[in-house]
């Protein structure tokens, strides 16, 4: 994304990144800074954001730290104002803030469910409400919503997160339809599968057991690259993670089969044997420790990946058989 000033010199892109303290958001901020962008960093913890700002500045970008709880609409409005006051405009906005829980719906406390939806869905709604008037005044802008393949399918234990991501996918589609009168404004949705980020370690957990991402786990760098591509060359939707896309395909071909088998697959590969007492993770309070982009899951996945790939291939084959038998009847 390049714009020219009055001297026909390229302007540094100005990009707001929410969820910038760790995971995909942190990776996106660093990647954009390395390309010379001015980045506005938003998350709940100022100390962690300050560390990210130093990383971005070492890579050649300028950084503005704005501690923000995206579930607070007034705070998100203030975030836009701070960005415009400092840099004069907002060229792109990346919505990467999210919190997560693992547990049966009936075991998940109501306040936790609400907080996850407030952050993961309404945080992005608040961002759109805040930045779209700025985009309209400029005549251009790119809004990138980091969704999930949980916006296309579901599994046990993730009711609030799946609710938020399904809602985000529909919200993004409505925005695209309503912004047809503003061809300079783009709304992009990036849909990754399981990604090697700290969100699983930070997740609230009511399963009674240790949890991990469902293998094979995608590197955060692949998702970061997809987000940066969306900022540069907006596309309606970008899916990241080939293996996880098989689950979407199976769900469409044989939804009954998917419903029967997804639980055993998740219990085998994502819910581990170690006992863990129930806890709220970082749903309400951010992690006081320094954030990271990845969390090391891929370095220990070799044994599980083979089993997960075999299970995925089996699901796909069964779906084809079920679909073929259904057509013969």
Comparing C-alpha atoms, which of 142, 131, 138 is closest to residue 238? Answer: 142
Report if residue 4 sits inside a domain. no
Give ∠ CA 289-291-297 in degrees, rounded to 5: 110
Report if residue 95 sits inside a domain. yes
CATH number for the domain that contains residue 97: 3.40.50.720
Report if residue 5 sits inside a domain. no
Q: How many domains does the chain have?
A: 1
Q: What is the pLDDT of residues 113-143, one digit of tens each?
A: 999 999 999 999 999 999 999 999 999 999 9
Q: What is the pLDDT of residue 2?
A: 57
Mean pLDDT of the chain, nearest integer: 89
| pLDDT grade for 307, boundaries at 50, 70 and 90 | very low
Which residue out of 102, 150, 157, 161 is catalytically annotated? 161
Report if residue 1 sits inside a domain. no
pLDDT higher at 298 or 15? 15
What integer is the mean pLDDT of 181-191? 97
- To the query of whether residue 150 is one of the catalytic residues in this protein, the response is no
Residue 265: enclosing H or E segment and its boundaries?
helix 255-269
CA–CA gap between residue 28 and residue 95 (Å, rounded) = 11
Report if residue 182 sits inside a domain. yes
Report if residue 151 sits inside a domain. yes
What integer is the mean pLDDT of 308-313? 49
Greatest mean pLDDT among 111-125, 145-159, 255-269 lies in: 111-125
Q: What is the pLDDT of residue 281?
A: 97
Domain of residue 322, residue span: 10-328
Report if residue 252 sits inside a domain. yes
Helix (H, G, I), strand (E, B) or coil at 317: helix
What b/e readout covers 53-64, taking b as 16+ CB neighbours within 10 angstroms? bebbeebebbbb
Report if residue 2 sits inside a domain. no
265 prior amide bond cis, ω within 30: no
What b/e readout covers 217-252, taking b as 16+ CB neighbours within 10 angstroms? bbbbeebbbbbbebbeebeebbbbbebbbbbbbbbe
């Amino acid at each position: 994304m390049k714009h020219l000033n009055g001297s026909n010199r390229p302007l540094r892109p100005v990009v707001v990144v929410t969820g910038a303290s760790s995971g995909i958001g942190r990776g996106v901020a660093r990647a954009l800074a390395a390309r010379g962008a001015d980045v506005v960093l938003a998350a709940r913890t100022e100390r962690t954001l300050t560390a990210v700002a130093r990383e971005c500045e070492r890579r050649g970008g300028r950084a503005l730290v704005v501690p923000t709880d995206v579930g607070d609409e007034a705070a998100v409005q203030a975030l836009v104002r701070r960005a415009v006051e400092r840099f004069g405009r907002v060229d792109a906005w990346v919505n990467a803030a999210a919190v997560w829980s693992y547990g049966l719906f009936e075991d998940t406390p109501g306040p936790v469910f609400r907080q996850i939806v407030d952050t993961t869905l309404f945080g992005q709604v608040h961002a759109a409400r805040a930045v779209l008037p700025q985009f309209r005044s400029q005549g251009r802008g790119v809004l990138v919503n980091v969704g999930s393949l949980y916006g296309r399918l579901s599994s046990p234990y993730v009711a609030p997160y799946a609710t938020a991501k399904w809602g985000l996918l529909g919200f993004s589609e409505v925005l695209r339809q309503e912004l047809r009168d503003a061809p300079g404004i783009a709304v992009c949705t990036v849909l990754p599968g399981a990604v090697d980020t700290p969100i699983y370690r930070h997740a609230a957990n009511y399963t009674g057991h240790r949890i991990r991402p469902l293998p094979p786990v995608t590197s955060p760098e692949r998702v970061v690259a997809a987000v940066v591509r969306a900022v540069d060359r907006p596309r309606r939707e970008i899916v990241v993670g080939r293996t996880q896309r098989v689950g979407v395909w199976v769900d469409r071909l044989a939804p009954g089969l998917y419903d029967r088998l997804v639980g055993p697959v998740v219990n085998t590969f994502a819910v581990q044997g170690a006992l863990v007492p129930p806890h709220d993770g970082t749903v309400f309070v951010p992690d006081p420790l320094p954030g990271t982009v990845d969390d090391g899951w891929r370095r220990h996945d070799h044994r599980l990946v083979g089993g997960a790939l075999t299970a995925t291939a089996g699901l796909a084959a069964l779906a084809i058989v079920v679909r073929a038998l259904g057509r013969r009847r």
